[in-house]
Amino acid sequence: MNTLTTFHADIKNILEQARSKARSAVNAAMVEAYWLIGRRIVEEEQRGQHKAEYGTRLLENLSKVLSESFGKGFSYANLRNFRQFYLTYPDQAICYTVCSKLSWSHNRLIMRVDDPKARAYYLAEGVAQQWSVRQLERNIQTHSFQRLISSQGGDAEGNTVHGNTLGDFIKDPYVLEFLQLPEASPLKESRLEQAIIDELQKFLLELGKGFSFVARQMRISTETSHFFIDLVFYNYLLKCFVIIDLKTGRLSHQDIGQMDMYVRMFDDLKRGEDDNPTIGIILCDSKDETVVKYSVIQESQQLFASKYRRILPTEEELVAEIEREKRLIEEAHDTTGNGGN
């Protein structure tokens, strides 16, 4: 019976893989076709320029012809999307090598992102992390790319740890609206921690790529004392432990000193021979950049302080907060004259 069950499972697996490959092939072919249609529309209506006198009529007529021959999916709005798809990625190589690895629904979301660097990020990460359309949409709405580079005070190029770009891993702020915690009421750290554990999968997605959960309230002990770290993760891309200390109040010098001690102790007591130095993130409700500026965070490549938001802010609020954080960090860097985090 067991052998027969294994046999059935093997056959099912073969068919599932075949169907997956077939869907991927069809998806790639359709994305390429939409790009080619977009290019042909642009060539026909304006000889490569951006506007044409008869553009609207051309698309309306084309929509009627294609709908009669191929059915749904070729409305005037969709044809405009195909046209925009080509104008966004005029380089055919990008379409064939990157865009075709994502669904048309993914590409339709990404091509509406204005920043070319952000588009490139969402394309690359969407493929590498196999984001669903819903996950991609949330990452775009919460400006995941901008939050990543804001923790570096600007462009993350060149700021690396363990051979990886830290801008790909540390966000500021973190958006935790999925925890469904009230914004105004006082919050205990134990409740925040439990909410994260209850929604651990979503929290891991918000943390970003490469993170896996290790423990909560992990005890590290010396000869005379015991200490408990709120959350411990391991990042297999950075090849290091990432410890998180949760603070529901305003960040203080004491909080930073405590995390500095935790990181040093963790490196001594828990870090393996093949592990890179531990990274510590203080996740706080609010912070004073002056406190950060004159703390060990400015000189450490292992310590970070990031805010969290309990609700999903508006796009304007999030952009303003990201820009404010970047400006404050850049000013701190200019003052101290070093390139720390």
- 307 versus 291: which is more confidently predicted? 307
Q: What are phi and psi of 7, to 5 degrees?
A: -60, -45
The answer to whether 313 and 291 are in contact (CB under 8 A) is: no
Amino acid letter, residue 225: S
For residue 324, which of 90, 153, 98 has the smallest C-alpha distance? 153
Residue 27 has pLDDT above 70, yes or no: yes
For residue 119, what is the DSSP state? Answer: H
In sequence order, what are the beta bridge partners of 157? none
| CATH architecture group of domain 163-336 | 3-Layer(aba) Sandwich (3.40)
126: closest CA among 39, 31, 214? 31
Give the Cβ contact number of residue 324 at 10 Å.
Answer: 12
* Residue closest to 321 by CA, chosen among 331, 332, 308: 308
SS3 47: coil
Q: How confident is the model at residue 1 (pLDDT cuts 50, 70, 90)?
A: very low
Which residue's entry shows tokens 């830290």? 166
| Packed helices 116-128 and 133-141: angle between N→C axes, nearest 10 degrees | 150
35: its two tokens: 């790009």
Q: What is the pLDDT of residue 56?
A: 61
Q: Which of 144, 272, 257, 128 is nearest to 214 (CA)?
A: 272
For residues 149 and 157, give the distance between their C-alpha atoms in angstroms, rounded to a whole number: 9
The pLDDT-based confidence of 333 (bands split at 50, 70, 90) is low
pLDDT in tens, 123-157: 999 999 999 999 999 999 999 998 887 665 544 44
Q: In which band, very low, low, confident or very high, does the pLDDT at 106 lie, cut at 50, 70 and 90?
A: very high
What is the tens place of the pLDDT at every residue in 210-239? 999 999 999 998 888 899 999 999 999 999
51-65: per-residue pLDDT in tens? Answer: 555 556 888 889 999
Domain ranges of the chain: 1-89, 163-336
AA identity, residue 270:
K
